[in-house]
């Protein structure tokens, strides 16, 4: 049981690191596409739609999710998940939040795919009309996004599993301890 509890504490920090990573990612998400800001010509309307509507909207969404992830770190402090085995309430609340987090990551992951696919289909040939010659599409941010959200999903699943395990083992241990204490009491009484 102690090993599980130690793993729980480690996973709490791993989750914190993952949440910070995701938060940082959302901060720099648009950077690679900053060249596409301020396009005005109708020839580039799809690109400005991509930048101003698709990317901005998505960035706002994942930023909100990342903030929620950071709030979850605070909640885990509040629920003392860094130092104690979760009780039933803490387990319930945090597992719920982890499910939310996983849902968010799945959402982000799948939308990065959709955005990447849209980006690949854009026609960049008229960018020179707005002073951009030889624009090459960039995919690094998307690739990093896949990794980060995959990691976050795994971390959330693992963290949830560890919390559940930690709680159930602790409950078992409590029962076991309580059972052995009852036997001692009975023995004492019969003696």
Partner 1 sequence: MRKKLTKVMLLAAMAMSAALTGCGSSVVEQAEQQTAQQTAENQPEESAGSTEAAVAETGPDLTEEVELKFNFAVGNKSRTMTYNQESPLTLPDGTVVTAGMLKPMWSYVENALNCDFTDVTVQDIKSADMIQTESTSNFSGANIYGGESIAERLMYYGTEGKFVNLSERMEAGYLPNFKAYLEENPDVKTAITAYDGNIYHVPYIAEIGQIGRSFVIRESWVTSLLDAENAGYDTSDFTVYYQGFYVGDNKRTGENGGTVTPKEGVEIVKKTDASIIELQNALEVKNGETLTNALIQYIDENYDYDKPSELYLGEKAAYDIDELIALMRCIKANPHYLTDGKADVVWPMFTRQSSYREELLRLGTYFDGVKVHGSDSYQARWYIDADGVVQYTYAQESVYDVLCYLSDMEAEGLIYSDCYDLSNKTNHRSALWGTDEGEAPSYGFITYDFIASSTADSLNPDTAVILPPVAKVNGVWQYYMDNGRAIKPDGWAISVAGSTEEQIQRACAVFDYFFTEEGFTLQNYGLPMNLDQENKYIGPDGNEYPLFTDWVNETCNNVANGDLSTFLRDWMGCLMPIGYQKEIGFEYQYTSERGFAGWELLKNSTTTIATYAGEGPEGDNPNYYKMIPPVFSLTSRQKETISDSTSIETDDVVEYMFNIIRYKTKGNAPQGAEVAQSYEEYLQMFENRGLELYETTYQTAYEVMTSVN
Q: Which residues bind partner 1 (CB under 8 A)?
A: 38-43, 49, 53-54, 57-58, 61, 65, 92, 95-96, 99-100, 102-104, 106-107, 110-111, 114-115, 118, 128-131
Local structure of 2: helix, strand or coil: helix
Exposure class string for 76-86: b at 16+ Cβ within 10 A, else e: beebebeeebb
CA gap 141, 54 in Å, rounded? 15
Residue 69 CB, shortest distance to partner 1, in Å, is 13
Q: Which is nearer to partner 1, 73 or 160 (CB)?
A: 160
Residue 72 CB, shortest distance to partner 1, in Å, is 13
Residue 59 CB, shortest distance to partner 1, in Å, is 10
CA gap 45, 34 in Å, rounded? 16
CA gap 178, 191 in Å, rounded? 20
Residue 101 CB, shortest distance to partner 1, in Å, is 9
Q: Which is nearer to partner 1, 11 or 65 (CB)?
A: 65
Q: Which is nearer to partner 1, 19 or 39 (CB)?
A: 39
Q: Which is nearer to partner 1, 9 or 144 (CB)?
A: 144
| Residue bearing tokens 């960035």 | 59
Q: Which is nearer to partner 1, 20 or 93 (CB)?
A: 93
DSSP 42-93: GGGHHHHHIIIIIIHHHHHHHHHHHHHHHHHHHHHHHTTTTTS---HHHHHH
Question: How many residues in the chain?
Answer: 191
Residue 188 CB, shortest distance to partner 1, in Å, is 31
């Amino acid at each position: 049981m102690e090993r599980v509890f130690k793993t729980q504490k480690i996973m709490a920090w791993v989750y914190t690191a993952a949440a910070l990573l995701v938060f940082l990612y959302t901060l720099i998400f648009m950077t690679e596409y900053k060249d596409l800001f301020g396009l005005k010509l109708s020839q580039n309307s799809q690109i400005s739609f991509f930048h101003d509507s698709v990317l901005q909207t998505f960035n706002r969404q994942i930023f909100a999710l990342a903030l929620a992830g950071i709030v979850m770190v605070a909640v885990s402090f509040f629920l003392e998940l860094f130092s104690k085995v979760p009780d039933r309430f803490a387990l319930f609340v945090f597992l719920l939040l982890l499910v939310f987090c996983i849902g968010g990551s799945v959402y982000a992951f799948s939308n990065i795919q959709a955005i990447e696919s849209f980006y690949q289909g854009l026609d960049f040939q008229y960018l020179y009309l707005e002073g951009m010659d030889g624009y090459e599409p960039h995919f690094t941010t998307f690739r990093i996004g896949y990794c980060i959200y995959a990691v976050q999903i795994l971390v959330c699943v693992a963290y949830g599993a560890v919390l559940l395990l930690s709680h159930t083992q602790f409950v078992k241990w409590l029962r076991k301890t309580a059972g052995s204490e009852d036997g001692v009491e009975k023995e004492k009484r019969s003696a």
